[in-house]
């Protein structure tokens, strides 16, 4: 007989659309729990993330009632995490402790004293041991890959172990990767045959499955397979009646058996994360290397020595993620002793908007917008004022300006550009526009063997022909008040498709600066060219005065603004002012100029993969003032909320 622990992790990101929650509830969360109720001998360890808990409590309290009754019957064990689903290794210890406490309190409201942690994205760092122990946690669930990375063999990974740091220990359970790919994508008999194959007479042996609850109804093709074709009922029926399989919960196992021994796990996540977290060029090489090993039949033997990046690499891969994360750390320090602000901070720590793998993640503007909204709200409980500091930890100083209604952050080292312009009233960061990047999977095709239903990892990802002409990649980050020096004759198509020449590579040049009350002067000079911009916060926005001198060239002043109202075609305008009403994201604002200007306007769209295939997503709109230089030119630009 082999012991078997079956667990699910239900999660929706902070800021996801209400209809997504609704669809997931109807297709996955509710039918799963209702099916479970029909099989009183079936036991499931369940983790539900805080954003989803709050939605369920408000919209479908009957689900919470059913969950509570299943806990009372002993069918369900609640596994906790940080309440708003942060990657614990990426937030301060003080915040980890409170996030875990909040979720343990919720579990107690269901009548369960939770002792186990579902580790978000299974991102492990040894220092977490102390946090977990201090939080009253006895065990944590990670992948078998973590153990293999520590040198253990696959056959040693059907038992939990202790791990230690600083004299404290917690129990670590390994999730079986084989089961993650079998359940629920392959016929039930294949799952049972695999479980039977593990039985070697050792009564303490345990196989653990713990994975996304969305696999049971939301992932492509799974609703029909799991419910309409009856996979889940067949699985519950056969696994509960199989005399060779002993269903257990984590706490039941630990009451009956001792962990096998002591291990030390390295910084790790699941294997796929080590691919996704690498910079794109290296990720492509990593995939090529893995495929080469598979072709030669060597991958399974040597895979434990094949390691890519770690989760925190996303802060290197995506500067927008890094800046958002470091602003979160800054706010965390500011509001540590302000309880009413910390709930907003904790929401801003929700992991999804900080990274990208199979799903949109950082590529989804509404997820980033939710993080920024809560960051700004938390920040309003503390007034940092104006300061100069290396906010994003890149070794170069940023200039932070605080007005009555706005935060403005300049990066003098990167073209003197505005990297953040956040509204305290609207709780939006107007500068939150993601750069168009080449991703390594833009040229990768997946494979599927045809049995059962394909998992997301096996879906075809061939880029449709109609998208190829719309895809462009940026040379620089997309910021506000970003200066470009262009040759005469440059067209809007050259510029929007990033095929233009950049004189002096102005967006990356370090600008000099000095500060004054409510503002900053920035300037750059090289050869016969000079540009100066004087920025000042207003109650309803900002004003910036440009002075530039040069001959036979064009100064292009670009404002990338996080507008979500869909724009299909580029436009060349002659305007003295432009009013924008973005109902989906940043609201209504006006750009005003002290004289008529030529304005280039075009959508900034990124290409990313998702569970449904490909997404071409509008990240914002570029508004670029074209200023031909033949001597000295001046222009005043105002941005106003209306």
Using alpha carbons, select from 415, 632, 599, 588 the residue that is nearest to residue 495: 599
Q: What CA–CA distance (Å, rounded) separates 600 from 125? A: 47
Of the candidates 265, 216, 234, the residue with the CA atom closest to the CA atom of residue 453: 216
Cross-strand pairs, 265: none
Q: At what angle do helices 30-37 and 231-241 cross, to 10 degrees?
A: 30
Helix axes 319-334, 339-348, angle to 10 degrees: 170
Closest to 249 in 3D by CA, of 440, 95, 75: 75
Token pair, residue 636, equals 């005043």
3-state secondary structure 55-91: HHHHHCHHHHHHHHHHHHCCCEEECECCCCCCCHHHC
By DSSP bridging, strand 387-389 and strand 529-538 are unpaired
> What is the dihedral angle through the alpha carbons of 576, 582, 587, 590, rounded to the nearest 10 degrees?
0
413 conformational bin, left if phi > 0, alpha if psi -120 to 50, beta if neither: alpha
DSSP, res 480: B
Q: How far apart, in Å, are the Cα atoms of 23 and each of 51, 318, 435? A: 15, 30, 30
DSSP symbol at 167: T
Q: What is the DSSP letter of 476?
A: S
Q: How far is CA 442 from the centre of its chain?
A: 19
The Cα–Cα gap between 39 and 28 comes to 17
SS3 of 453, please? coil
CB 550 within 8 A of CB 529: yes
Total Cβ atoms within 10 A of residue 437: 17
User: Could you give the CA distance from residue 409 to residue 426 in angstroms, rounded to a whole number?
Assistant: 17
**Residue numbers annotated as active site:** 121, 212
Q: How far is CA 436 from the centre of its chain?
A: 17
Distance CA(461)–CA(441), nearest Å, equals 8
Is residue 410 within 8 A of residue 597, CB to CB? The reply is no
Classify 254 as helix, strand or coil.
helix
Angle at 287 between CA 284 and CA 293, to 5 degrees: 140
Q: What is the edge-to-edge ordering of all strands in the sheet holding 428-429?
A: 387-389, 398-402, 406-411, 417-423, 428-429
């Amino acid at each position: 007989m082999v012991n078997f622990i079956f667990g699910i992790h239900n999660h929706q990101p902070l800021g996801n659309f209400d209809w997504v929650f609704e669809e997931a509830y109807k297709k996955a969360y509710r039918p799963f729990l209702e099916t479970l109720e029909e099989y009183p001998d079936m036991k499931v360890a369940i983790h539900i993330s805080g954003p989803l808990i709050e939605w369920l409590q408000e919209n479908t309290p009957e689900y919470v009632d059913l969950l509570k009754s299943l806990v009372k019957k002993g069918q369900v064990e609640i596994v906790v995490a940080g309440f708003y689903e942060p990657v614990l290794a990426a937030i301060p210890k003080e915040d980890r402790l409170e996030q875990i406490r909040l979720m343990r309190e919720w579990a107690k409201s269901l009548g369960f004293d939770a002792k186990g942690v579902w580790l978000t994205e299974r991102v492990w760092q040894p220092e977490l041991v102390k946090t977990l122990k201090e939080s009253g946690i006895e065990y944590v669930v990670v992948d078998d890959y973590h153990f293999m990375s520590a040198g253990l063999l696959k056959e040693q990974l059907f038992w939990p172990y202790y791990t230690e740091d600083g004299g404290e220990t917690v129990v670590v359970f390994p999730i079986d990767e084989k089961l993650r790919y079998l359940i629920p994508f392959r016929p039930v008999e294949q799952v049972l045959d695999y479980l039977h194959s593990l039985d070697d007479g050792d009564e303490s042996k345990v196989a653990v499955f713990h994975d996304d609850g969305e696999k049971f109804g939301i992932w492509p093709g799974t609703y029909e397979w799991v419910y309409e074709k009856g996979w889940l009922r067949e699985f519950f029926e056969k696994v509960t009646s199989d005399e060779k399989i002993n269903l257990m919960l984590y706490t039941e196992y630990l009451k009956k058996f001792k962990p096998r021994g002591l291990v030390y796990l390295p910084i790790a996540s699941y294997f796929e994360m080590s691919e996704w977290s690498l910079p794109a060029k290296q990720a492509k090489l990593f995939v090529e290397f893995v495929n080469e090993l598979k072709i030669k039949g060597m991958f399974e033997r040597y895979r434990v020595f094949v390691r890519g990046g770690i989760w925190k690499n996303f802060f290197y891969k995506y500067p927008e993620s890094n800046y958002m994360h470091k602003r979160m750390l800054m706010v965390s320090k500011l509001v540590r002793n302000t309880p009413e602000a910390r709930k907003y901070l904790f929401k801003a720590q929700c992991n999804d908007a900080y990274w990208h793998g199979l799903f949109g993640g950082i590529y989804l503007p509404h997820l980033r917008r939710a993080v920024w909204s809560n960051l700004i709200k938390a920040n309003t409980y503390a007034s940092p004022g104006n300061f100069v500091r290396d906010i994003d930890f890149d070794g170069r100083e940023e200039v932070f300006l605080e007005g009555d209604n706005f935060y403005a952050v300049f990066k003098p080292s990167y073209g003197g550009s505005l990297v953040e312009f956040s509204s305290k009233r609207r709780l939006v960061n107007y500068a939150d526009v993601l750069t168009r990047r080449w991703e390594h999977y833009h040229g990768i095709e997946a494979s599927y063997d045809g049995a059962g239903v394909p998992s997301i990892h096996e879906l075809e990802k061939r880029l449709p022909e109609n998208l190829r002409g719309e895809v462009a990649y940026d040379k620089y980050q997309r910021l506000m008040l970003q200066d470009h020096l262009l040759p005469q004759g440059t067209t809007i198509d050259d510029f929007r498709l990033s095929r233009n020449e950049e004189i002096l590579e102005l967006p990356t040049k370090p600008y000099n600066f000095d500060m004054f009350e409510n503002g900053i002067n920035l300037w750059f000079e090289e050869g016969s060219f000079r540009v100066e911009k004087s920025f000042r916060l207003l109650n309803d926005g900002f004003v910036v005065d440009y002075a530039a001198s040069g001959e036979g060239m064009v100064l292009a002043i670009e404002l990338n603004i996080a507008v979500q109202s869909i724009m299909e075609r580029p436009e060349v305008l002659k305007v003295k002012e432009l009013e924008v009403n973005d109902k989906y994201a940043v609201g209504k604002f006006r750009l005003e100029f002290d004289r008529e200007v030529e304005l280039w306007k075009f959508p900034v769209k990124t290409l990313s993969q998702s569970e449904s295939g490909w997404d071409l997503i509008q990240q914002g709109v570029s508004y670029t003032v074209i200023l031909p230089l033949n001597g000295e030119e001046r222009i005043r630009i105002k941005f106003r909320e209306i």
